Structure 1
Amino acid sequence: MLFLTTVVPWLLLAFLGQQVSLSSGARNKHRGADKTVTAAPDNAPRSGDKSAANGRGKFSINNKMQCTWGAKAVGDAVKLSVKCEDREARIKGGVTDIKCEYNGKPQSCAGYKSNNKSFWKQVARAFKKLQGKVCSDESKLVRAGICKRAPRDAHFKLDIMSSVNLTQSGEPETHLPPPPQPRATAAAPVKPTACTARVNHLKTAEENCSGSWASVCNFFLTMLQSEDC
Protein backbone atom coordinates (compact mmCIF):
# COMPACT_ATOMS: atom_id res chain seq x y z
CA MET A 1 0.00 0.00 0.00
CA LEU A 2 2.85 2.34 0.78
CA PHE A 3 4.26 1.77 -2.70
CA LEU A 4 0.97 2.66 -4.43
CA THR A 5 0.54 5.71 -2.27
CA THR A 6 3.96 6.97 -3.30
CA VAL A 7 3.95 6.13 -7.05
CA VAL A 8 0.39 7.11 -8.06
CA PRO A 9 0.78 10.87 -7.40
CA TRP A 10 3.94 10.92 -9.55
CA LEU A 11 2.19 9.15 -12.38
CA LEU A 12 -0.66 11.65 -12.25
CA LEU A 13 1.76 14.57 -12.37
CA ALA A 14 3.59 13.08 -15.37
CA PHE A 15 0.30 12.51 -17.20
CA LEU A 16 -0.89 16.04 -16.57
CA GLY A 17 2.45 17.45 -17.77
CA GLN A 18 2.24 15.48 -21.00
CA GLN A 19 -1.30 16.77 -21.68
CA VAL A 20 -0.26 20.35 -21.09
CA SER A 21 2.68 19.99 -23.49
CA LEU A 22 0.51 18.49 -26.23
CA SER A 23 -2.12 21.24 -25.86
CA SER A 24 0.52 23.98 -26.07
CA GLY A 25 2.03 22.49 -29.24
CA ALA A 26 -1.37 22.30 -30.93
CA ARG A 27 -2.08 25.98 -30.19
CA ASN A 28 1.28 27.09 -31.60
CA LYS A 29 0.72 25.05 -34.75
CA HIS A 30 -2.72 26.62 -35.28
CA ARG A 31 -1.30 30.14 -34.90
CA GLY A 32 1.40 29.41 -37.47
CA ALA A 33 -1.24 28.28 -39.96
CA ASP A 34 -3.20 31.50 -39.46
CA LYS A 35 -0.14 33.60 -40.26
CA THR A 36 0.52 31.82 -43.54
CA VAL A 37 -2.96 32.54 -44.97
CA THR A 38 -3.17 36.21 -43.97
CA ALA A 39 -3.81 38.36 -47.14
CA ALA A 40 -1.43 41.13 -48.02
CA PRO A 41 -2.75 44.62 -47.31
CA ASP A 42 -4.19 46.68 -50.19
CA ASN A 43 -1.48 49.27 -49.90
CA ALA A 44 1.30 46.78 -50.64
CA PRO A 45 3.60 47.89 -53.47
CA ARG A 46 2.72 46.60 -56.93
CA SER A 47 4.97 46.00 -59.90
CA GLY A 48 2.56 47.69 -62.34
CA ASP A 49 -0.81 49.42 -62.59
CA LYS A 50 -3.15 47.21 -64.60
CA SER A 51 -5.94 49.80 -64.47
CA ALA A 52 -3.90 52.06 -66.76
CA ALA A 53 -4.52 49.61 -69.62
CA ASN A 54 -8.20 50.65 -69.62
CA GLY A 55 -7.38 54.27 -70.48
CA ARG A 56 -7.86 55.05 -74.18
CA GLY A 57 -10.05 57.29 -76.28
CA LYS A 58 -10.55 59.55 -79.31
CA PHE A 59 -11.18 63.24 -79.89
CA SER A 60 -10.88 65.81 -82.67
CA ILE A 61 -9.26 69.24 -82.95
CA ASN A 62 -11.41 71.85 -84.70
CA ASN A 63 -13.29 69.01 -86.43
CA LYS A 64 -10.32 68.52 -88.78
CA MET A 65 -7.53 66.70 -86.98
CA GLN A 66 -8.46 63.26 -85.61
CA CYS A 67 -6.63 62.19 -82.43
CA THR A 68 -6.25 59.01 -80.36
CA TRP A 69 -4.68 58.51 -76.94
CA GLY A 70 -3.77 55.52 -74.80
CA ALA A 71 -2.48 54.99 -71.26
CA LYS A 72 0.43 52.82 -70.15
CA ALA A 73 1.88 52.20 -66.69
CA VAL A 74 5.57 53.12 -66.39
CA GLY A 75 6.91 52.33 -62.92
CA ASP A 76 4.91 54.31 -60.37
CA ALA A 77 3.57 56.69 -63.05
CA VAL A 78 1.17 56.53 -65.99
CA LYS A 79 2.03 57.77 -69.49
CA LEU A 80 -0.54 58.99 -72.02
CA SER A 81 0.58 58.78 -75.66
CA VAL A 82 -1.28 61.13 -78.03
CA LYS A 83 -1.32 60.89 -81.85
CA CYS A 84 -3.20 63.25 -84.18
CA GLU A 85 -3.57 63.22 -87.97
CA ASP A 86 -5.04 65.60 -90.57
CA ARG A 87 -5.32 63.87 -93.96
CA GLU A 88 -6.69 66.96 -95.67
CA ALA A 89 -3.52 68.89 -94.79
CA ARG A 90 -1.48 66.35 -96.73
CA ILE A 91 -3.02 67.79 -99.89
CA LYS A 92 -3.69 71.43 -99.03
CA GLY A 93 -0.67 71.87 -96.78
CA GLY A 94 -0.31 72.61 -93.06
CA VAL A 95 0.15 70.53 -89.90
CA THR A 96 -0.41 66.88 -90.85
CA ASP A 97 0.65 64.99 -87.69
CA ILE A 98 1.04 65.72 -83.95
CA LYS A 99 2.61 63.39 -81.40
CA CYS A 100 3.36 63.85 -77.69
CA GLU A 101 3.23 62.28 -74.22
CA TYR A 102 1.62 63.28 -70.92
CA ASN A 103 2.86 61.95 -67.57
CA GLY A 104 1.15 61.75 -64.18
CA LYS A 105 0.71 59.73 -60.98
CA PRO A 106 -3.04 59.17 -60.67
CA GLN A 107 -2.46 56.52 -57.97
CA SER A 108 -2.46 59.39 -55.45
CA CYS A 109 -6.08 60.11 -56.39
CA ALA A 110 -8.63 57.99 -54.51
CA GLY A 111 -11.11 58.17 -57.39
CA TYR A 112 -8.61 56.58 -59.77
CA LYS A 113 -8.84 53.29 -57.87
CA SER A 114 -12.42 53.44 -56.64
CA ASN A 115 -14.04 54.53 -59.93
CA ASN A 116 -11.52 53.83 -62.67
CA LYS A 117 -14.05 53.89 -65.52
CA SER A 118 -15.33 57.36 -64.65
CA PHE A 119 -11.75 58.59 -64.21
CA TRP A 120 -10.83 57.79 -67.82
CA LYS A 121 -14.08 59.24 -69.19
CA GLN A 122 -13.25 62.54 -67.49
CA VAL A 123 -9.71 62.43 -68.89
CA ALA A 124 -11.20 62.03 -72.39
CA ARG A 125 -13.40 65.12 -71.85
CA ALA A 126 -10.36 67.07 -70.63
CA PHE A 127 -8.53 66.32 -73.89
CA LYS A 128 -11.51 67.58 -75.93
CA LYS A 129 -11.48 70.89 -74.01
CA LEU A 130 -7.78 71.49 -74.76
CA GLN A 131 -8.37 71.63 -78.55
CA GLY A 132 -5.52 73.60 -80.18
CA LYS A 133 -3.40 73.45 -77.02
CA VAL A 134 -2.96 69.69 -77.20
CA CYS A 135 0.74 68.77 -77.34
CA SER A 136 1.73 72.46 -77.34
CA ASP A 137 0.94 74.08 -73.94
CA GLU A 138 2.72 72.41 -71.01
CA SER A 139 0.97 74.71 -68.52
CA LYS A 140 -2.39 73.05 -69.26
CA LEU A 141 -2.91 69.89 -67.20
CA VAL A 142 -5.21 67.04 -68.18
CA ARG A 143 -7.40 66.75 -65.10
CA ALA A 144 -10.11 64.29 -64.06
CA GLY A 145 -13.01 65.88 -62.19
CA ILE A 146 -12.97 63.28 -59.41
CA CYS A 147 -9.33 64.21 -58.63
CA LYS A 148 -9.82 67.92 -57.91
CA ARG A 149 -8.40 67.60 -54.39
CA ALA A 150 -5.58 65.27 -55.36
CA PRO A 151 -1.94 66.44 -55.43
CA ARG A 152 -0.74 68.24 -58.56
CA ASP A 153 1.34 65.29 -59.75
CA ALA A 154 -1.84 63.17 -59.90
CA HIS A 155 -2.83 65.08 -63.04
CA PHE A 156 -1.23 64.56 -66.43
CA LYS A 157 1.32 67.11 -67.62
CA LEU A 158 2.73 67.49 -71.12
CA ASP A 159 6.31 66.37 -71.68
CA ILE A 160 7.23 69.21 -74.04
CA MET A 161 10.36 67.36 -75.19
CA SER A 162 8.18 64.59 -76.63
CA SER A 163 6.05 66.96 -78.71
CA VAL A 164 6.50 66.58 -82.49
CA ASN A 165 4.64 68.49 -85.23
CA LEU A 166 4.91 67.45 -88.87
CA THR A 167 3.97 69.91 -91.60
CA GLN A 168 3.68 69.56 -95.34
CA SER A 169 3.41 72.11 -98.12
CA GLY A 170 0.42 71.88 -100.45
CA GLU A 171 0.68 70.49 -103.95
CA PRO A 172 1.17 73.21 -106.61
CA GLU A 173 -1.95 74.11 -108.53
CA THR A 174 -2.02 73.02 -112.17
CA HIS A 175 -2.68 75.93 -114.52
CA LEU A 176 -3.94 75.16 -118.02
CA PRO A 177 -2.16 77.04 -120.80
CA PRO A 178 -4.24 79.88 -122.31
CA PRO A 179 -5.91 79.09 -125.63
CA PRO A 180 -3.91 80.25 -128.65
CA GLN A 181 -4.91 83.64 -129.96
CA PRO A 182 -5.96 83.75 -133.64
CA ARG A 183 -3.32 85.35 -135.81
CA ALA A 184 -4.35 88.45 -137.70
CA THR A 185 -4.00 87.92 -141.46
CA ALA A 186 -2.41 90.77 -143.31
CA ALA A 187 -4.67 92.36 -145.88
CA ALA A 188 -3.53 91.77 -149.44
CA PRO A 189 -2.28 94.93 -151.09
CA VAL A 190 -4.85 96.52 -153.35
CA LYS A 191 -3.59 96.69 -156.89
CA PRO A 192 -4.55 99.77 -158.84
CA THR A 193 -7.23 99.07 -161.40
CA ALA A 194 -7.46 100.48 -164.86
CA CYS A 195 -10.08 102.92 -163.68
CA THR A 196 -7.83 104.12 -160.88
CA ALA A 197 -4.97 104.58 -163.30
CA ARG A 198 -7.25 106.56 -165.61
CA VAL A 199 -8.16 108.96 -162.85
CA ASN A 200 -4.48 109.40 -162.14
CA HIS A 201 -3.85 110.24 -165.87
CA LEU A 202 -6.53 112.90 -165.76
CA LYS A 203 -5.00 114.45 -162.69
CA THR A 204 -1.56 114.38 -164.33
CA ALA A 205 -2.95 116.03 -167.47
CA GLU A 206 -4.57 118.83 -165.48
CA GLU A 207 -1.31 119.48 -163.63
CA ASN A 208 0.95 119.47 -166.69
CA CYS A 209 -1.33 120.77 -169.46
CA SER A 210 -2.89 124.19 -169.07
CA GLY A 211 -6.32 125.28 -170.12
CA SER A 212 -7.73 123.66 -173.20
CA TRP A 213 -4.73 121.37 -173.62
CA ALA A 214 -5.68 119.41 -170.52
CA SER A 215 -8.36 117.46 -172.31
CA VAL A 216 -6.01 116.75 -175.21
CA CYS A 217 -3.30 115.50 -172.84
CA ASN A 218 -5.81 113.34 -171.02
CA PHE A 219 -6.91 111.84 -174.34
CA PHE A 220 -3.39 110.80 -175.25
CA LEU A 221 -2.65 109.45 -171.76
CA THR A 222 -5.81 107.37 -171.77
CA MET A 223 -4.88 105.86 -175.11
CA LEU A 224 -1.58 104.73 -173.58
CA GLN A 225 -3.39 102.53 -170.98
CA SER A 226 -2.95 98.81 -171.58
CA GLU A 227 -6.42 97.93 -170.19
CA ASP A 228 -9.85 99.37 -170.51
CA CYS A 229 -11.76 100.50 -167.45
Structure 2
Amino acid sequence: MARRAEVCDCVISSDNLVKKMQLLRTFAPWLLLAFLGQQVSLSSSVRNKNRRTDRTATQAPGGAQRSESKSAATGRGKFLIKTKKMQCTWGAEDVGDRVRLNIKCENPEARVKGGTTDLECQYNGKPERCPGYQSDPNGFWKQVARTFKRLQAKVCIDERALVRAGMCKRAPRDAHFKLDIRSSVAAGQSGGESEGYQPPPPRPTSSAPAGPTACRGREQQKKKAEENCGRWASVCTFFFSMLQSEDC
Protein backbone atom coordinates (compact mmCIF):
# COMPACT_ATOMS: atom_id res chain seq x y z
CA MET A 1 0.00 0.00 0.00
CA ALA A 2 2.83 2.33 0.84
CA ARG A 3 4.45 1.74 -2.52
CA ARG A 4 1.16 2.39 -4.33
CA ALA A 5 0.83 5.68 -2.47
CA GLU A 6 4.33 6.70 -3.45
CA VAL A 7 3.64 5.84 -7.10
CA CYS A 8 0.43 7.88 -7.03
CA ASP A 9 2.26 10.86 -5.57
CA CYS A 10 4.89 10.64 -8.31
CA VAL A 11 2.22 10.54 -10.99
CA ILE A 12 0.43 13.55 -9.51
CA SER A 13 3.65 15.57 -9.22
CA SER A 14 4.59 14.79 -12.82
CA ASP A 15 1.15 15.89 -13.96
CA ASN A 16 1.56 19.19 -12.10
CA LEU A 17 4.94 19.71 -13.69
CA VAL A 18 3.50 19.13 -17.13
CA LYS A 19 0.71 21.62 -16.46
CA LYS A 20 3.22 24.25 -15.27
CA MET A 21 5.32 23.76 -18.37
CA GLN A 22 2.25 24.19 -20.54
CA LEU A 23 1.32 27.40 -18.71
CA LEU A 24 4.86 28.70 -19.07
CA ARG A 25 4.82 28.00 -22.79
CA THR A 26 1.51 29.81 -23.10
CA PHE A 27 2.52 32.97 -21.20
CA ALA A 28 6.16 33.18 -22.31
CA PRO A 29 5.41 34.96 -25.64
CA TRP A 30 3.17 37.45 -23.88
CA LEU A 31 5.85 38.20 -21.30
CA LEU A 32 8.39 38.69 -24.07
CA LEU A 33 6.08 41.10 -25.91
CA ALA A 34 5.48 43.08 -22.72
CA PHE A 35 9.22 43.37 -22.12
CA LEU A 36 9.87 44.52 -25.69
CA GLY A 37 7.07 47.07 -25.47
CA GLN A 38 8.56 48.53 -22.33
CA GLN A 39 11.95 48.87 -24.00
CA VAL A 40 10.42 50.58 -27.04
CA SER A 41 8.59 53.10 -24.86
CA LEU A 42 11.79 53.90 -22.95
CA SER A 43 13.78 54.46 -26.15
CA SER A 44 11.07 56.72 -27.62
CA SER A 45 11.02 58.86 -24.47
CA VAL A 46 14.81 59.27 -24.66
CA ARG A 47 14.53 60.36 -28.30
CA ASN A 48 11.90 62.93 -27.46
CA LYS A 49 14.12 64.41 -24.76
CA ASN A 50 17.03 64.66 -27.19
CA ARG A 51 14.84 66.41 -29.77
CA ARG A 52 13.69 68.95 -27.21
CA THR A 53 17.30 69.61 -26.25
CA ASP A 54 18.27 70.15 -29.89
CA ARG A 55 15.38 72.56 -30.46
CA THR A 56 16.40 74.57 -27.42
CA ALA A 57 20.00 74.73 -28.65
CA THR A 58 18.97 75.89 -32.14
CA GLN A 59 16.65 78.53 -30.76
CA ALA A 60 19.31 79.94 -28.42
CA PRO A 61 21.18 81.99 -31.10
CA GLY A 62 17.94 83.59 -32.22
CA GLY A 63 17.16 84.51 -28.65
CA ALA A 64 20.62 86.02 -28.31
CA GLN A 65 20.03 88.11 -31.44
CA ARG A 66 16.72 89.30 -30.09
CA SER A 67 18.38 90.32 -26.84
CA GLU A 68 21.12 92.17 -28.77
CA SER A 69 18.57 94.10 -30.84
CA LYS A 70 16.66 94.88 -27.68
CA SER A 71 19.89 96.20 -26.12
CA ALA A 72 20.45 98.50 -29.09
CA ALA A 73 16.84 99.67 -29.03
CA THR A 74 17.19 100.79 -25.40
CA GLY A 75 20.10 103.12 -26.21
CA ARG A 76 18.85 106.72 -26.29
CA GLY A 77 19.37 109.91 -24.33
CA LYS A 78 19.84 113.70 -24.25
CA PHE A 79 22.74 116.05 -23.56
CA LEU A 80 23.60 119.74 -23.85
CA ILE A 81 26.54 121.35 -25.64
CA LYS A 82 27.01 124.34 -23.34
CA THR A 83 29.47 126.31 -25.46
CA LYS A 84 27.10 126.27 -28.44
CA LYS A 85 23.85 126.26 -26.44
CA MET A 86 22.67 123.27 -28.44
CA GLN A 87 20.18 120.71 -27.17
CA CYS A 88 21.02 117.25 -28.50
CA THR A 89 19.27 113.88 -28.62
CA TRP A 90 20.73 110.53 -29.63
CA GLY A 91 19.34 107.07 -30.37
CA ALA A 92 20.80 103.67 -31.26
CA GLU A 93 19.75 101.29 -34.02
CA ASP A 94 21.07 98.03 -35.48
CA VAL A 95 22.55 98.33 -38.98
CA GLY A 96 23.90 94.98 -40.18
CA ASP A 97 26.66 93.83 -37.85
CA ARG A 98 27.06 97.32 -36.38
CA VAL A 99 25.18 99.65 -34.08
CA ARG A 100 24.63 103.21 -35.27
CA LEU A 101 24.10 106.26 -33.06
CA ASN A 102 22.09 109.06 -34.68
CA ILE A 103 22.81 112.51 -33.20
CA LYS A 104 20.55 115.54 -33.71
CA CYS A 105 21.24 118.93 -32.12
CA GLU A 106 19.46 122.27 -32.41
CA ASN A 107 19.83 125.79 -31.04
CA PRO A 108 16.46 127.62 -30.95
CA GLU A 109 18.17 130.87 -29.94
CA ALA A 110 20.30 130.85 -33.09
CA ARG A 111 17.16 130.88 -35.24
CA VAL A 112 16.54 134.41 -33.97
CA LYS A 113 20.04 135.80 -33.34
CA GLY A 114 21.87 133.86 -36.02
CA GLY A 115 24.48 131.13 -35.84
CA THR A 116 24.47 127.37 -36.07
CA THR A 117 20.88 126.21 -35.73
CA ASP A 118 21.10 122.47 -36.46
CA LEU A 119 23.79 119.81 -36.25
CA GLU A 120 23.46 116.14 -37.24
CA CYS A 121 25.86 113.21 -37.48
CA GLN A 122 26.24 109.45 -37.00
CA TYR A 123 28.58 107.25 -34.97
CA ASN A 124 29.21 103.57 -35.80
CA GLY A 125 30.63 100.74 -33.68
CA LYS A 126 30.45 97.06 -32.74
CA PRO A 127 29.57 97.09 -29.03
CA GLU A 128 28.80 93.35 -29.02
CA ARG A 129 32.58 92.85 -28.88
CA CYS A 130 32.43 94.31 -25.37
CA PRO A 131 31.26 91.76 -22.73
CA GLY A 132 29.60 94.49 -20.69
CA TYR A 133 27.22 95.28 -23.56
CA GLN A 134 25.72 91.79 -23.26
CA SER A 135 25.73 91.43 -19.48
CA ASP A 136 24.58 94.93 -18.50
CA PRO A 137 23.11 96.85 -21.48
CA ASN A 138 21.45 99.50 -19.33
CA GLY A 139 24.74 100.30 -17.58
CA PHE A 140 26.48 100.36 -20.96
CA TRP A 141 24.16 103.01 -22.40
CA LYS A 142 24.35 105.12 -19.24
CA GLN A 143 28.13 105.28 -19.65
CA VAL A 144 27.73 106.21 -23.34
CA ALA A 145 25.45 109.10 -22.30
CA ARG A 146 28.12 110.34 -19.86
CA THR A 147 30.71 110.25 -22.64
CA PHE A 148 28.58 112.49 -24.86
CA LYS A 149 28.32 115.00 -22.01
CA ARG A 150 32.12 115.01 -21.63
CA LEU A 151 32.85 115.42 -25.35
CA GLN A 152 30.80 118.65 -25.59
CA ALA A 153 32.05 120.71 -28.57
CA LYS A 154 33.81 117.69 -30.13
CA VAL A 155 30.48 115.99 -30.86
CA CYS A 156 29.93 115.66 -34.63
CA ILE A 157 33.18 117.60 -35.25
CA ASP A 158 36.24 115.60 -34.12
CA GLU A 159 36.42 112.12 -35.65
CA ARG A 160 39.37 111.25 -33.39
CA ALA A 161 37.17 111.51 -30.28
CA LEU A 162 35.67 108.04 -29.77
CA VAL A 163 32.50 107.46 -27.77
CA ARG A 164 33.61 104.89 -25.19
CA ALA A 165 31.82 103.12 -22.35
CA GLY A 166 33.88 102.82 -19.17
CA MET A 167 33.21 99.08 -18.92
CA CYS A 168 34.75 98.55 -22.38
CA LYS A 169 38.23 99.97 -21.78
CA ARG A 170 39.92 96.67 -22.71
CA ALA A 171 37.65 95.97 -25.68
CA PRO A 172 38.94 96.21 -29.29
CA ARG A 173 38.97 99.63 -30.92
CA ASP A 174 36.06 98.87 -33.25
CA ALA A 175 33.87 98.12 -30.20
CA HIS A 176 33.77 101.88 -29.54
CA PHE A 177 31.69 104.34 -31.55
CA LYS A 178 33.52 106.44 -34.14
CA LEU A 179 32.20 109.50 -35.94
CA ASP A 180 31.36 109.09 -39.62
CA ILE A 181 32.64 112.50 -40.70
CA ARG A 182 30.74 112.27 -44.00
CA SER A 183 27.46 112.28 -42.06
CA SER A 184 28.27 115.51 -40.19
CA VAL A 185 25.94 118.27 -41.39
CA ALA A 186 25.42 121.73 -39.89
CA ALA A 187 22.94 124.47 -40.80
CA GLY A 188 23.11 128.19 -39.99
CA GLN A 189 20.72 131.12 -39.85
CA SER A 190 21.16 134.82 -40.74
CA GLY A 191 24.76 134.56 -41.86
CA GLY A 192 25.81 132.32 -38.98
CA GLU A 193 28.85 130.20 -39.62
CA SER A 194 28.33 126.52 -40.27
CA GLU A 195 30.44 124.50 -37.88
CA GLY A 196 30.24 121.18 -39.66
CA TYR A 197 33.20 119.42 -41.21
CA GLN A 198 35.15 121.71 -43.50
CA PRO A 199 37.67 120.15 -45.90
CA PRO A 200 41.21 121.55 -45.63
CA PRO A 201 42.02 124.32 -48.14
CA PRO A 202 44.08 123.26 -51.15
CA ARG A 203 47.80 123.72 -50.81
CA PRO A 204 49.23 126.62 -52.86
CA THR A 205 51.26 125.46 -55.83
CA SER A 206 54.33 127.35 -56.98
CA SER A 207 53.82 128.89 -60.40
CA ALA A 208 56.47 130.12 -62.81
CA PRO A 209 56.66 133.91 -63.37
CA ALA A 210 54.61 135.06 -66.32
CA GLY A 211 56.42 136.19 -69.45
CA PRO A 212 60.06 135.70 -70.50
CA THR A 213 62.79 137.39 -68.48
CA ALA A 214 65.21 139.78 -70.11
CA CYS A 215 68.61 138.32 -70.83
CA ARG A 216 70.98 141.08 -69.78
CA GLY A 217 74.15 138.95 -69.86
CA ARG A 218 74.36 138.85 -73.65
CA GLU A 219 73.88 142.61 -74.00
CA GLN A 220 76.73 143.29 -71.56
CA GLN A 221 79.00 140.86 -73.42
CA LYS A 222 78.24 142.58 -76.72
CA LYS A 223 79.03 146.03 -75.30
CA LYS A 224 82.37 144.85 -73.86
CA ALA A 225 83.31 143.27 -77.17
CA GLU A 226 82.58 146.47 -79.13
CA GLU A 227 84.56 148.63 -76.68
CA ASN A 228 87.66 146.42 -76.49
CA CYS A 229 87.78 144.49 -79.74
CA GLY A 230 86.61 146.95 -82.39
CA ARG A 231 86.00 145.15 -85.68
CA TRP A 232 86.71 141.82 -83.97
CA ALA A 233 83.72 142.37 -81.71
CA SER A 234 81.85 139.33 -83.00
CA VAL A 235 84.79 137.06 -82.22
CA CYS A 236 85.17 138.52 -78.74
CA THR A 237 81.47 138.12 -78.11
CA PHE A 238 81.76 134.44 -78.99
CA PHE A 239 84.61 133.94 -76.50
CA PHE A 240 82.75 135.90 -73.80
CA SER A 241 79.72 133.69 -74.25
CA MET A 242 81.90 130.61 -73.77
CA LEU A 243 83.55 131.93 -70.62
CA GLN A 244 80.43 133.48 -69.04
CA SER A 245 77.48 131.34 -70.12
CA GLU A 246 74.07 132.29 -68.71
CA ASP A 247 70.69 130.69 -69.35
CA CYS A 248 68.04 133.19 -70.34
> What is the TM-score with the length of structure 1 in the denominator?
0.65
Q: Is the partner of 1:161 in helix, strand or coil?
A: helix
CA distance in 2, matches of 1:42, 1:147: 28
CA distance in 2, matches of 1:42, 1:102: 31
CA distance in 1, matches of 2:59, 2:101: 25
| Deviation (angstroms), 1:56 | 0.9
Q: Is the 8 A contact 1:89 1:170 kept in 2?
A: no
Q: In the alignment, what sits opposite 1:56?
A: 76
Where do residues 144-183 of structure 1 align in structure 2 (5 Å cutoff)?
Answer: 144-170=165-191
- Report the RMSD for the aligned CA atoms in angstroms: 2.6
CA distance 1:153–1:13, change in 2 (3 Å):
farther
Q: Which shifted more, 78-87 or 101-110?
A: 101-110
Counterpart pick for 1:34 among 36, 46, 49: 49
Q: Is the 8 A contact 1:90 1:170 kept in 2?
A: no
Q: In the alignment, what sits opposite 1:15?
A: 30
CA distance in 1, matches of 2:161, 2:60: 31
CA distance in 2, matches of 1:138, 1:42: 39
Structure 1's unaligned 5+ residue stretches are 172-229
Between Structure 1 and Structure 2, which shows a larger proportion of helix residues? Answer: 2
| Deviation (angstroms), 1:32 | 2.7
CA distance in 1, matches of 2:191, 2:173: 42
Q: Which amino acid aligns with 1:131?
A: Q
| Deviation (angstroms), 1:104 | 1.4
Alpha-carbon deviations, 1:36-71, whole Å to 9, x = none? 433337861426611212111111112511111011
Where do residues 92-171 of structure 1 align in structure 2 (5 Å cutoff)?
Answer: 92-170=113-191
How many correspondences in the alignment? 171
CA distance in 1, matches of 2:151, 2:135: 26
Structure 2's unaligned 5+ residue stretches are 1-14, 193-248
Q: Which amino acid aligns with 1:31?
A: V
| Structure having the higher Rg | 1
Q: Which amino acid aligns with 1:108?
A: R
CA distance in 2, matches of 1:10, 1:150: 76
CA distance 1:148–1:11, change in 2 (3 Å):
farther
CA distance in 1, matches of 2:103, 2:19: 94
CA distance in 2, matches of 1:37, 1:23: 22
